[in-house]
Amino acid sequence: MTSRFTTIKNRVEYIKAPVADVAADTTKVENTVKEVLSAVRERGDAAVREFSQRFDGSAPDSLEVTMEERLAAVAALDPQTRADTEFAIANVRSFAEAQLKTLAPLEIELLPGLHLGHRIIPIETVGCYVPGGRYPLLSAPIMTIVPARVAGCDNVIACLPPNAHEAMVAGCHLSGADRIFRVGGAQAIAAMALGTESIPQVDKIFGPGNAFVNEAKRQAFGRVGIDQLAGPSEIYVVADDTGDAELIATDLLAQAEHDIRTRVGLITTSRRLAEETLQAVERQLLDLPTAQTAGQAWREYGEIALCPDEAAMIDYSDFIAAEHLEVHTANAREFSLKLRNYGSLFIGENASVVYSDKCCGTNHTLPTMAAGRYTGGLWVGSYVKTCTHQYLDEAGVEQVALPAIRQSASEGLEGHRRAAAARLK
């Protein structure tokens, strides 16, 4: 049977097609993570230190960053870096606060005497994984820690690799982490999921990481909650003939420098724009300092898809469901309403992904690998639970008891029938 996605792909002409599949064999990663989880479960901090030495080449005597060390990291920040960090924190906090206001408790009397409702309850203890990565990503702690504080979580735990830049420690502190630990990789996820002598067990884990972090979150899920499973970063641009090839190429390469497995692409109805963008990318790579990473990502995972019409461009974009989706079309705001599958939408040429990545206020932790078909990205609502409740007086029992009795009897569940009947006067 032909899937609807196969039909969509058949309508596309590839000016440049990806030559590699980002979904790699994960057997080795799965086995390594299973070993880490088992060891941390059995030996706690000792196992965490062993894996830190093995994978990160560093195992500090004290896993927790002291308050003195936190304050020293903040004091060591360049004044402009601190100001920019606090600007980003303020924007993320303000947007999260506005989002939280859209979530409200509910109380209704559905039938006479039948009172139903829900409460918005912050998750008690959350763990925020802060990746070290190729570069000190100063925005990373902001995106996971600040929404937790806005949501009202009681305990916010942060873990970052032992060799992470001191500015990352400062970012965790300024964002509001209660406790910070120098533990990275799968061992950090295992420690937060299982608890050790030093690191408390959390209720839900947030934050992106490498393949080992991602797999550890997958294997820990169920014991604890997780925000999502994140693959390599992605950026796609949908554009018509009004698109600017140089600007599109700049944005594609900006995201491609994250990782050699970054997925980048242009989806367009304009052959001219497709060909000019291909040339612009190659030209810009010549003097891009991060071309070794960005160039490999472009060569292996970059694509330019030419669509016969606007409808096909929309369908193909929804099939890709890109983590970051830029809209470079005439009437971009109107056009954006036709799109439904993406992590976050960047409407118009001025809305560069880099602004959200760093400081504009929306969260940069977003679904990848087509998960945008069924979920959105990290937001303040990820840190709360919407929990229902019910209250019945005698009039309410009269409304629901007889239907419940009859249904229980028809299902052959006598215990249920008795429980339903016991309250009926």
3-class SS at 287?
coil
Alpha carbon distance 301, 288 (integer Å)? 18
Strand order in the sheet with 263-268: 13-16, 303-306, 263-268, 234-239, 324-328, 344-347
Quick one: CA torsion of 346, 349, 350, 354, rounded to 10 degrees?
60
Catalytic residue (one of 215, 234, 323, 349) = 323
165 carries an active-site annotation: no
How far apart, in Å, are the Cα atoms of 290 and each of 130, 294, 324, 335? 22, 6, 20, 33
CB 67 within 8 A of CB 167: no
324 carries an active-site annotation: yes
CB 324 within 8 A of CB 256: no
At 354, the amino acid letter reads V
Catalytic residue (one of 173, 257, 303, 324) = 324
Alpha carbon distance 375, 353 (integer Å)? 19
Alpha carbon distance 57, 44 (integer Å)? 19
Contacts of 252 (CB under 8 A, 6+ apart): 235, 237, 264, 265, 266, 277, 281, 298, 302
Q: Transcribe 62-118 into DSSP letters.
A: --BPPHHHHHHHHHTS-HHHHHHHHHHHHHHHHHHHHHHTT---EEEEEETTEEEEE
Query: Which residues are the active-site residues?
Result: 323-324
